[in-house]
Amino acid sequence: MNIVIGIILMAAGVVLYFARQRSLNNVMNIKYHETSSIAELLETYQPIQQELGKGNFSQMVELKGVGSSNNPIKAELSGDSVLYYKAEVVRQYEVTVQRTDDKGNRYTDRETRYDTVSSNERFAPILLDDGTGGKIKVDLEGANIIAQKNLDVFERELRQGFHISFGGSDSHTIGYKYTEYVIPNNARLYVLGEAADRRGDLAVIKPAEDKNPFIVSTKSEEELIRSNESTALWTMVGAIAAEIGGIGFIISYFFQK
């Protein structure tokens, strides 16, 4: 058993190591790119578009401004007017299970489980305005979206409009967790992505090269850097602890033989 635990811990350490690298890459990308103004971007784009036509411009950009839409959407759980939402409803319930103790005796126990009742994500077309004399579209498709938590409640009953098929007559529903993340209409945004016109009008979209980031965040640049640096630190600590623990369990397995 110890060797299995050891292998699992070492595998977890590897996963945490790669998670740390992702956070460090985010920090590097955010720090590397200088903030541009939308007016400067449009000034660069217009002569290229006039000379070469659409479909020939692409440039990584970091932009900051207010995101808005003439056609915002309605958040599923809160009903707020938003540019983006991700809503999830999770059922928490108990079921009867049969277990076996160390002596081989079987007994009945209750186990808490979780099932996702609903998980939806939607976004509206966004226009970003940084106050420099121009606006640019931001297409959220494929973006790493850092939104703000809008709702996090636990309720005993399932709200109207949601449906669930109960599996097993011995299950007992404890309640439902409702969680919602949103980008409000007229929110201040940090955007790092590719400004390109290959889909028609100039817009910030998911970069053609997967190695390039696409971030749309309600957090500021400074908050994103601090958050990713903190994540990198703690995942490194977790990775080291998991590797040491895994090695310890594997060594103890061979000493017990």
Q: What is the mean pLDDT of the chain?
A: 86
What pLDDT was estimated at residue 104? 82
Tokens linked to 231: 């994540």
Under the banding of pLDDT at 50, 70 and 90, the label for residue 71 is very high
Of the ranges 9-18, 96-105, 137-146, 232-241, the best mean pLDDT one: 137-146
Minimum mean pLDDT among 95-99, 198-202, 220-224, 230-234: which range? Answer: 230-234
Per-residue model confidence as pLDDT tens digits over 103-146: 888 888 888 999 999 999 999 999 999 999 889 999 999 999 99
pTM (two decimals): 0.78
What pLDDT was estimated at residue 101? 81
What pLDDT was estimated at residue 174? 93
Q: Is pLDDT of 149 > 70?
A: yes
Q: Is 239 helix (H, G, I), strand (E, B) or coil?
A: helix
Tokens linked to 111: 């186990």
What pLDDT was estimated at residue 184? 96
Strands (E), the chain: 58-68, 73-74, 81-100, 106-123, 126-129, 135-138, 144-146, 148-155, 172-184, 187-196, 203-205, 215-217
Q: Is pLDDT of 159 > 60?
A: yes
What's the whole-number mean pLDDT along residues 193-221? 91
The Cα–Cα gap between 70 and 67 comes to 11
Domain boundaries, the chain: 2-256
Distances in Å between the Cα of 111 and the Cα atoms of 99, 114, 156, 170 are 10, 10, 18, 11
Strand-strand pairing, 106-123 and 148-155: unpaired
| Percent of residues, the chain, with pLDDT higher than 70 | 89
The H helix count followed by the E strand count for the chain is 3, 12
CB 8 within 8 A of CB 103: no
What's the whole-number mean pLDDT along residues 139-161? 94
Minimum mean pLDDT among 53-57, 63-67, 147-151, 199-203: which range? Answer: 53-57
What pLDDT was estimated at residue 24? 63
What pLDDT was estimated at residue 194? 95
Q: Is 149 helix (H, G, I), strand (E, B) or coil?
A: strand
- Greatest CA separation found in the chain? 82
Cβ neighbours around 68 below 10 Å, total: 18
What's the whole-number mean pLDDT along residues 167-185? 86
What pLDDT was estimated at residue 221? 82
Tokens linked to 85: 């939402």
Strand-strand pairing, 203-205 and 187-196: antiparallel
Q: Is pLDDT of 48 > 80?
A: yes
The Cα–Cα gap between 63 and 221 comes to 10
Q: Is 51 helix (H, G, I), strand (E, B) or coil?
A: helix
- Where is pLDDT greater, at 245 or 172? 172
205: CB partners within 8 A, 6+ apart: 139, 141, 142, 193, 194, 196, 199, 214
List the one residue out of 150, 141, 146 whose CA is nearest residue 219: 146
What pLDDT was estimated at residue 107? 85
| Helices 2-32 and 221-256: angle between axes, nearest 10 degrees | 160
Under the banding of pLDDT at 50, 70 and 90, the label for residue 1 is low
CB 125 within 8 A of CB 69: yes
User: Which residue do the tokens 């020939």 mark?
Assistant: 56
